[in-house]
């Protein structure tokens, strides 16, 4: 058995490109082995900023020989009058890669046809691999490509070398003027001229380690975490875990070496996230915290250079951090001198969206919606004052010097909170300014304060209604304004706080505000917006673990009262395993199926009833309507569902004793009217015809 190695040497790739690139190579390699029927042993991948590599063991010398038998055209077509193969016959033979002597006549029930039978010799494995390498390179997904060397070669960064080995032998190939060989290069920070001769494919990782290159990404990750655990042995300090940053750093270095550095302790008076943003997000360093959970003035960076030069490297990194923090401190102090209120008038200078005017106009809409919510939710005047103050100031920090700098732009809301606290605002107002952006993503927390929750809902509602209102509805995967995230966050907040508000009325109000502000709304945009929110409600119910058919069933009655919808869905989930409920569902499906195509049915006429089962069903309907109404009024959804279950006996008796689709059209129509009335009462609770039961699954 044999070993194979392919390494693509490149100028430093962006960290976001490396993992998709090496995964693409691995998938392509596995697909090729499968298609070529090549057995193999372990497949290993390696990646650093300067290389993408894949190796495999246990490969055969060549493909196994395969006996080929193929049937071609009929004998009458395959031979000419002289008994020689015709153009059609020879074309078939050539297409199969066979010779004329391989042809024989095959007799079948449909007639006589020519056929070929021959042994296809397996290709040499190294030849297959040689052909695969250029194909694999061209298939690597790259968001941005550059052209150099030749117009036909486009890649994210210049390709510098290719290593291709079959055991100890070089697999000769030329890729746009770049010849393969056995020469790789070590850690560039330890000398660009350090070449590494790889003698055997099986020795690859060991050879690269000698050049201070850890090819295995997971090994580099383990090295970093192991070094973290030994940096502060007395337990007074610890490196803050940051999985996302760790993933990034693994793609930035070839031989990781953790180094402790520090900045002047005077910078600790800055808000914590300014410092951690500077250290972690911008510089890709790790923050260090004390045992008490307080941020320290130390940080850890992962060097890719010579450990012997750590002090020099540390001094350079400390200088960069100090410069950034000095800028941040100046921005912060200057912003504090002006105060948050001073930024509000300048919101007229910031465009929210070209058709929705400025951030000042958006702030006014947030104020109006926040006031509406306070009234709908019956908050007292004291709470309302806090909410309105939060709404007034929530966008003000966008005009601060701090957020004017690109590196701190993600701190919107957070900076507003701190500026509000410095200015002496109510702590809940300050918290609300920060929280009104929540949730920022799928893993983010929800607002904890009333101010934050109301302003978050108001802000997200205005964004979704405004953007959809002017005709920019998300399509497919394109959602440039993150409307799905905004609408999803809104319904999450409403559900989390169990706010009894009508979402449809809330959308109506938001559109009224937009109209009052002379926004040019597209026809039908309000209905589109309601449908959009209905989809997000549907999504939320499924996220809460509610079965898809239960969600469909309860949403038929509307999505407006979210807490009621959730309570109804959970009550239905609890009841649906009961045998009597399953029987009810089956009966209700019959009701729905019979009147599925009927429209405009009026009230049934009792004078036309012929059986006791009809009268009993009709008489029970008024009681059912009353009892369901009482249960829904008191939000007793389990009680409402049990009313339906009890009524199921009358439905069963009706179907057992009455032929609904009788020959008499008047009687048939009257019975359809009765069933339509039953369905209308059931729909007030849920459309049980959408519930999937075992009989549906079995096709009974």
Per-residue pLDDT, 191: 63
pLDDT in tens, 259-304: 999 999 999 999 999 999 999 888 999 999 999 999 999 999 999 8
Flag whether pLDDT at 46 surpasses 90. yes
Flag whether pLDDT at 476 surpasses 90. no
**Torsion sign over Cα 448, 451, 457, 459:** negative
> pTM for the full model?
0.79
3-state secondary structure of 184: strand
Top-ranked range on mean pLDDT: pick from 525-534, 574-583, 664-673: 525-534
State how far the Cα of 398 lies from the Cα of 411, in Å rounded to an integer.
10
Flag whether pLDDT at 389 surpasses 80. yes
Per-residue pLDDT, 117: 80
Q: By CB neighbour count within 10 A (0-12 exposed, 13-18 middle, 19+ buried), where does 23 fall?
A: middle
**How does strand 159-166 pair with strand 178-181?**
parallel
* pLDDT top residue among 659 and 698: 659
Per-residue pLDDT, 598: 64
State how far the Cα of 621 lies from the Cα of 618, in Å rounded to an integer.
5
Angle at 442 between CA 358 and CA 452, to 5 degrees: 50
List residues bridging with 376 in a β-sheet.
Answer: none
Q: Where are the alpha helices (DSSP H) in 196-292?
A: 204-210, 217-231, 243-250, 272-276
* pLDDT top residue among 406 and 466: 466
Per-residue pLDDT, 700: 41
Confidence of residue 698 (pLDDT cuts 50, 70, 90): very low
**Which helix (H) or strand (E) element contains residue 575?**
helix 562-575
Question: Quick one: which of 184, 247, 189 has its CA closest to 218?
Answer: 247
CB 255, CB 49: distance < 8 Å: no
Flag whether pLDDT at 171 surpasses 60. yes
The neighbour count for residue 488, using CB atoms within 10 Å, is 22
State how far the Cα of 491 lies from the Cα of 119, in Å rounded to an integer.
66
Instruction: Kindly list the structural domains of the chain, giving each domain's residue range(s) and its CATH number in brackets, ordered by start.
Output: 2-62+124-210 (3.30.70), 66-120 (no CATH), 218-338 (no CATH), 341-543 (1.10.3210), 569-697 (1.10.730.10)
pLDDT in tens, 432-441: 999 999 999 8
DSSP class of residue 73 equals: E
Confidence of residue 192 (pLDDT cuts 50, 70, 90): low
Per-residue pLDDT, 695: 56
Q: What is the mean pLDDT of residues 562-577?
A: 88
Query: For residue 247, how many C-alpha atoms fall within 13 Å in the half-sphere facing its CB?
Result: 7
- Block residue for tokens 């693994």: 250
DSSP class of residue 64 equals: P
Q: What is the mean pLDDT of residues 488-501?
A: 95
Flag whether pLDDT at 431 surpasses 60. yes
What values do phi and psi take at 698, rounded to 5?
-85, -5
State how far the Cα of 421 lies from the Cα of 496, in Å rounded to an integer.
27
How many angstroms from the chain centroid is the CA of residue 511?
Answer: 29
Residue 149's alpha-carbon distances to 146, 157, 176, 182, in angstroms, are 10, 11, 8, 22
**How does strand 257-262 pair with strand 295-303?**
antiparallel
Flag whether pLDDT at 697 surpasses 80. no
Flag whether pLDDT at 599 surpasses 70. no
pLDDT in tens, 513-561: 999 988 999 999 999 999 999 999 999 999 999 999 999 989 988 889 9
Window from 80-89, 316-325, 333-342, 416-425 with minimum mean pLDDT: 80-89
CB 212, CB 190: distance < 8 Å: yes
CB 456, CB 440: distance < 8 Å: no
Confidence of residue 21 (pLDDT cuts 50, 70, 90): very high
Q: What is the mean pLDDT of residues 162-179?
A: 93
Angle at 466 between CA 464 and CA 471, to 5 degrees: 95
Flag whether pLDDT at 607 surpasses 90. no
Among residues of the chain, what percentage have pLDDT more than 70?
A: 97
Top-ranked range on mean pLDDT: pick from 460-469, 596-605, 674-683: 460-469
**Rounded mean pLDDT of the chain?**
90
């Amino acid at each position: 058995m044999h070993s194979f190695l392919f390494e693509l040497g490149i100028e430093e790739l962006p960290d976001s490109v490396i993992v998709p690139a090496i995964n693409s190579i691995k998938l392509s390699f596995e697909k090729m082995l499968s298609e070529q029927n090549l057995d193999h042993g372990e497949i290993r991948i390696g990646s650093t900023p300067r290389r993408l590599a894949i190796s495999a063991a246990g490969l055969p010398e060549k493909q196994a020989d395969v006996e080929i038998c193929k049937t071609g055209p009929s004998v009458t077509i395959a031979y000419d009058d002289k008994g020689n193969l015709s153009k059609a016959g020879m074309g078939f033979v050539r297409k199969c890669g066979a010779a004329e002597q391989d042809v024989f006549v095959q007799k079948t029930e449909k007639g006589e046809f020519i056929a070929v039978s021959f042994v296809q010799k397996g290709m040499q494995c190294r030849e297959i691999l040689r052909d695969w390498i250029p194909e694999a390179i061209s298939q690597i997904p790259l968001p941005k490509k550059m052209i150099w060397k030749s117009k036909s070669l486009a890649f994210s960064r210049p390709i510098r070398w290719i290593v291709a080995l079959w055991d100890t032998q070089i697999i000769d190939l030329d890729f746009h003027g770049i010849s393969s060989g056995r020469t790789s290069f070590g850690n560039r920070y330890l000398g660009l001229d350090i070449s590494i001769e790889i003698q055997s494919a099986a020795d690859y990782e060991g050879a690269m380690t000698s050049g201070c290159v850890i090819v295995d990404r997971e090994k580099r990750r383990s090295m970093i975490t192991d070094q973290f655990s030994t940096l502060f042995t007395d337990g007074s300090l610890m490196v803050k875990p940051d999985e996302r940053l760790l993933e990034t750093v693994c793609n930035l270095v070839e031989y990781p070496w953790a180094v402790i550095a520090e900045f002047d302790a005077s910078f600790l008076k800055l808000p914590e996230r300014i410092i951690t943003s500077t250290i972690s997000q911008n510089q890709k360093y790790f923050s260090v915290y004390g045992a008490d959970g307080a941020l320290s003035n130390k940080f850890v960076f992962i060097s890719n250079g010579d450990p012997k030069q750590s002090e020099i490297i540390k001094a350079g990194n400390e200088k960069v951090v100090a410069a950034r923090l000095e800028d941040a401190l100046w921005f912060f102090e200057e912003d504090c001198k002006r105060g948050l209120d001073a930024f509000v008038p300048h919101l007229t200078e910031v465009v929210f969206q070209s058709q929705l005017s400025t951030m000042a106009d958006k702030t006014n809409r947030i104020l109006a919606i926040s006031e509406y919510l306070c009234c709908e939710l019956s908050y007292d005047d004291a709470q309302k004052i806090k909410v309105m103050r939060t709404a007034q100031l929530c966008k003000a920090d966008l005009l601060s010097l701090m957020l004017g700098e690109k590196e701190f732009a993600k701190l919107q809301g957070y900076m507003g909170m701190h500026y509000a606290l410095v200015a002496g605002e109510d702590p809940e107002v300050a918290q609300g300014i920060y929280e009104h952006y929540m949730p920022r993503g799928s893993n983010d927390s929800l607002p904890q304060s009333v101010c934050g929750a109301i302003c978050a809902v108001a802000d997200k509602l205005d964004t979704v209604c405004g953007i959809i209102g002017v005709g920019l509805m998300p399509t497919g995967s394109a959602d440039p304004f993150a409307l799905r995230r905004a609408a999803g966050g809104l319904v999450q907040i409403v559900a989390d706080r169990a706010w009894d508000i009508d979402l449809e009325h809330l959308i109506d109000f938001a559109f009224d505000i937009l109209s009052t502000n002379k926004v040019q709304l597209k026809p039908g945009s309000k209905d589109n917006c309601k449908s959009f929110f209905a989809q997000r409600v549907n999504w939320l119910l499924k996220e809460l673990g509610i079965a898809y058919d239960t969600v469909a069933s309860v949403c038929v009655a509307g999505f407006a009262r979210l807490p009621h919808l959730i309570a109804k869905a959970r009550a239905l989930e609890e009841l649906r395993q009961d045998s009597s409920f399953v029987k009810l569902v089956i009966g209700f499906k019959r009701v729905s199926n019979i009147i599925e195509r009927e429209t405009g049915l009026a009230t049934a006429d009792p004078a036309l009833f012929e059986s006791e089962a009809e009268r009993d069903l009709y008489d029970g309907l008024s009681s059912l309507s009353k009892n369901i109404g009482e249960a829904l009024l008191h939000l007793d959804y389990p009680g409402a569902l049990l009313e339906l279950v009890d009524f199921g006996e009358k439905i069963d008796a009706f179907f057992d004793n009455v032929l609904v689709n009788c020959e008499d059209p008047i009687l048939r129509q009257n019975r359809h009217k009765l069933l339509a009335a039953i369905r209308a009462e059931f729909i007030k609770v849920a459309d049980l015809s959408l519930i999937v039961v075992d009989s549906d699954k079995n096709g009974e």
